[in-house]
Amino acid sequence: MLAYEPNPVGSWIEPWYFSYALQGAAVAGLIPILLPVFVHQFGNPSDVGYVMAAFSLGALTAPLWGELADRHRLHRFLLAGGLLLTGITLFAFAFSTSLPGWLSLAFLQGSGYGAAATVANLFIVENHPKAEWDKRIGWLQTFYGAGQVAGLLLSAGLTGLRIRSGLFLAAGFNLLAFVIAWWKAPAPPNLPLPRPVLRHAPRHADWPIGSPQRLYQVTSGALRQLTGAAASTFGVFLLAWVLSFAGTAVVFSQYPVLMHTAYGIGATLSSLAFGAAAALGLLLYSPAGRWSDRRSPRLVVQMGLVLRLAAIAAMLVIMMVHQLDGFALVAFGVIVIAWSLLSVSSTGLIARISPVGEGSGLGIFNAATGVAGVVGAAVGGWAAGRWGYRAALELATAGSLLGLLLTFVRSRNPRLANSEERVQT
């Protein structure tokens, strides 16, 4: 067998990656700012939370699209179709002014996003040798992350009366991505291949819908295996992660409206701050990976959760004292940047402590992340609508604190205790 030789940088990049960058600009850059602001113009904070939760719920259909792609070899159709569906529903969203319409369209947007995100990873693992996966997936995530930052910066100029125009732009990005994907996406192999486990940590700023890299993992059958391991270290950590992630989902889902209503910071400035924090966070993934390898991934996870807890608590205190409102943007930036630590370390930690196998463990973890995003957005919106944003931040702080404390809990049952330390050794 011939020895594998690295390819030049240009050969890791395929033309259809640009469709993924456009989706990143629309879904991860424009939507987190434009959808909450648009809904709030015609509704209330509860509506904002429910709409963002509906988008997240739609994204959780990703395993279905992955199964269809595997079974019927519909890869290009699902990639292009998902982009097209998201674009059309974003365009229609600009003309909707009722909660039922928003919920339906947001769910379809999330479903289209989930289909495209899942199949994009399949194109790499089914068309290229395993030795090339790291480089190719890394470049795919780089395109997505760059698109996200560009979308966040663009959204700064599309606030106020131009929100509807921003939704048109997001729809246009997805429609252009559809054309590129349909024209340039490669054909998959004729025969389905076994779905491998992907341990590549998402290297871009996250928000409650979860990362497209996390949507790839199939979870069917994995939840049944969790029943006997619920009291294990893995089960306790999973609960900790859900509480923490739901807490931050409260903040992310309401972000531009929260900043404007509670701190008097306009959507333009909050968009620029989000974009700057996302760009800065991209620089921390490699150091975070080194820290996780040299020390304990659990320790790095705890560091990230401490940062997020401190930032959310700071936002709550600033709201209560009504002073130094501008520092709320700094606190939110810390929440975004902390994801660089959490993303890398959590993936490695789950792979080490899962008692149901690496693939099933990661599948359960990714599903739990998505569910936490749905719950956090919905409950946070409900609390903000009923009692105000202070109550929403109090819930976010409580969830983050409980999650952090649970990461220090290990199973006392020797049969259920995991082998994290033994694996590290």
Nearest to 333, CA basis, from 284, 287, 370: 284
More confident residue, 213 or 304: 304
Mean pLDDT of the chain: 85
What mean pLDDT comes out for the span 57-66?
A: 87
- Give, in order, the Cα–Cα distances in Å from 342 to each of 162, 172, 178, 244: 35, 33, 32, 11
Q: Residue 313 above 60 pLDDT? A: yes
Give me the helices (H) in 204-296, please: 212-215, 222-226, 233-263, 267-282, 285-294
Rounded to 10 degrees, the C-alpha dihedral 267/278/213/242 comes to: -70
For range 93-103, the mean pLDDT: 95
Determine the straight-line distance between the first and last CA of the chain, rounded to whole angstroms: 33
Question: What's the maximum distance between 2 C-alpha atoms anywhere in the chain?
Answer: 68
Please state the rounded mean pLDDT for residues 300-324. Answer: 95
Whether residue 425 is predicted with pLDDT greater than 70 in this model: the reply is no
CA 399 and chain centroid, separation: 18
Instruction: Report the topology of domain 12-424.
Output: Growth Hormone; Chain: A; (1.20.1250)
One-letter amino acid for residue 268 of the chain:
T
DSSP-derived letter for residue 291 is H
Q: Answer whether 150's CB lies under 8 Å from 25's CB.
A: yes
Give DSSP secondary structure letters for 323-359: --TTHHHHHHHHHHHHHHHHHHHHHHHHHHH-TT-HH
Query: Could you give the percent of the chain with pLDDT greater than 90?
Result: 54
Q: Above 80 in pLDDT, residue 416?
A: no
Span 79-89, pLDDT tens digits: 999 999 999 99
Q: What is the DSSP letter of 221?
A: T
**Predicted pLDDT of residue 190:** 74
Give residue for tokens 């904002």: 48
- Whole-number Å distance between alpha carbons of 59 and 32: 14
**pLDDT exceeds 90 at position 406:** yes
Helix (H) or strand (E) holding 396: helix 389-406
Q: Hey, which of 55-64, 199-208, 267-276 has the most confident mean pLDDT?
A: 267-276
Reported as a single tens digit per residue, the pLDDT across 137-185 is: 888 888 998 999 999 999 988 865 578 999 999 999 999 999 999 999 8
Rounded average pLDDT over 10-16: 82
Cα atoms found within 13 Å of the Cα of residue 65, Cβ hemisphere only: 29
pLDDT digits (tens, 9 = 90+) for 334-344: 999 999 899 88
Q: Across residues 374-392, what is the average pLDDT?
A: 96
pLDDT value at 228 more than 60: no
Sketch the domain layout of the chain as residue ranges: 12-424
pLDDT band for position 315 (cuts 50, 70, 90): very high
Position 198 pLDDT exceeds 80: no
pTM for the whole structure: 0.90
Write out the two tokens for 19. 């469709």
Is the confidence at residue 384, as pLDDT, over 50? yes
Residue 127 binned pLDDT confidence (cut-offs 50, 70, 90):
confident
Q: HSE-up of 131 (CA within 13 Å, CB side)?
A: 6
Residue 379 — very low, low, confident or very high, per pLDDT cuts 50/70/90? very high
Tokens 């109550």, located at residue: 391
Tokens 């991209």, residue? 282
What six digits make up the tokens of 289?
Answer: 């990976």
Greater pLDDT, 266 or 7? 266
